[in-house]
Amino acid sequence: MRQGKHLSVTLSKYGFIASFLAAPIILYSVFVVGPYAQAFQLAMTEWRGIGTPKWVGFANFERLFQDEVFWKAIQHHLVLLLALPLITIAIALFFAFMLNVGGGSRGGQRVGVRGSGFYRVVFFFPQVLAVAIIAVLFQTVYRPDESGLINGVLVKLGLDPIFFLINPNLALWSIIGVLVWQAVGFYVVLFSAGMASIPTEIYEAAELDGASRISMFFRVTIPLLWDTLQVAWVYLGIAAFDAFAIVAVLSVDSGGPDGATTVLAMEIYRNAFVYNRYGYASAMGVALFFLTLTFAALTLRVSKRESVEY
């Protein structure tokens, strides 16, 4: 009798939980899992947007691995995967450290540099701007004549203008600079939240031991922020696999000059909506999906370490 009552309570409990989970699971399956499944299916076909898709099996993937443009985009993503997280995290960590604990100790509390509240607003400002607006803004900054913000200063100083987006050797790095400028503010806030959770006593103990600000940064702050850094690296890596909007608006000829800034998302768009090769574009999308998934899994695996307790 008691076992039957216990079973009834258990079923009632899990039934109640399932009733709340049913709607989100259904919505997720329809609007997330469903489109992914359709993309995988479409990648096995040849389809121009009208008529019945023609089943071609793995032909699109065989063609993909022989496509020079695909491999050029992969090379650009590798540069982005190294440069974007490294530069963004380094700058954001420095700013967050200075804004939270760089001002020393006042009244028994670690404080940031003078004016840190104002700097937080300034650093976060790019986050409230749409990506397209940022790209248009930097078109003015990078303009190759004296009407550009940077080249206007160089011309007045008697120097030759720099062709940021026209020179194939500079174009990708110019776009990386925009991506870093856009992302830093968010990670300053993220790292600031992490630093706020570090007990003040740890910094005070390090200070009593004679640790400098640089020593506290590398031996206290970074080890205790490791989990946050891990998350930041994954987020920035995923951003490096995208960068579509910035490249589409800012680059010459949408990925130029001569493909110097093209990325996979740009090639997916071009194949689908310019060349009407939807099956081939879906194959690129599937490749991008697995590349992103592999990167996230490897990053979490490689950067895994024992948590620091305090």
Q: Is residue 70 part of a domain?
A: yes
Residue 310 domain flag? no
Q: How many CB atoms lie within 10 A of CB 240?
A: 24
What percent of the chain is predicted at pLDDT more than 90? 24
Both 11 and 65 in a single domain? no
Same domain membership, residue 249 and residue 127: yes
Residue 37 sits in the same domain as residue 125: no
Residue 53 within any structural domain of the chain = no
CB-neighbour burial class of residue 264 (10 A; exposed 0-12, middle 13-18, buried 19+): buried
Q: What integer is the mean pLDDT of 151-176? A: 90
- Residue 309 counted as domain residue: no
If asked whether residues 130 and 260 sit together in one domain, one would say yes
Average pLDDT over residues 3-31: 69
Mean pLDDT on 127-133: 85
State the pLDDT confidence band at 72, using cuts at 50, 70 and 90. very high
pLDDT in tens, 49-69: 788 888 888 899 999 999 999
Percent of the chain whose predicted confidence (pLDDT) is above 70: 86
Number of domains in the chain: 2
Residues 235 and 284 in one domain: yes
Same-domain check for residues 259 and 120: yes
Q: How many helices (H) and strands (E) would you count in the chain?
A: 15, 4
d(CA 36, CA 6): 41
> Do 147 and 184 sit in the same domain of this protein?
yes
Around Cβ 160, how many Cβ atoms within 10 Å?
8
Let me know whether 165 and 99 are in one domain: yes
- Examine the pLDDT at 104 and tell me if it is beyond 70: no
**310 vs 79 pLDDT, higher one:** 79
Same domain flag for 130 and 20: no
Instruction: Decide which of 212 and 126 is more confident.
Output: 126
Mean local confidence (pLDDT), 204-218: 73
**What's the pLDDT score for residue 219?**
78
Domain assignment of residue 221, yes or no: yes
- The reported pTM is 0.83
pLDDT, residue 227, reads 83
CATH of the domain at 185: 1.10.3720.10
CB 250 within 8 A of CB 139: yes
Lowest average pLDDT, out of 90-104, 158-172, 200-214, 218-232, goes to 200-214
Q: Assess whether 24 and 148 both reside in one domain.
A: no
One domain for residues 291 and 144: yes
Rounded to the nearest 10°, the torsion over CA 161, 164, 166, 170 is 120
pLDDT (0 to 100) of residue 76: 93
Q: Which domain holds residue 118?
A: 59-302
In-domain check, residue 54: no
Same domain, 186 and 119: yes
What distance in Å separates the CA atoms of residue 111 and residue 93, rounded to the nearest whole number?
16
In this prediction, residue 103 carries a pLDDT of 57
Q: Are strands 109-110 and 105-106 parallel, antiparallel or unpaired?
A: antiparallel
Q: Are 63 and 292 in contact (CB under 8 A)?
A: no
Residue 250 maps to a domain:
yes
- The answer to whether residue 50 is domain-embedded is no
Amino acid (1-letter code) at residue 194: G
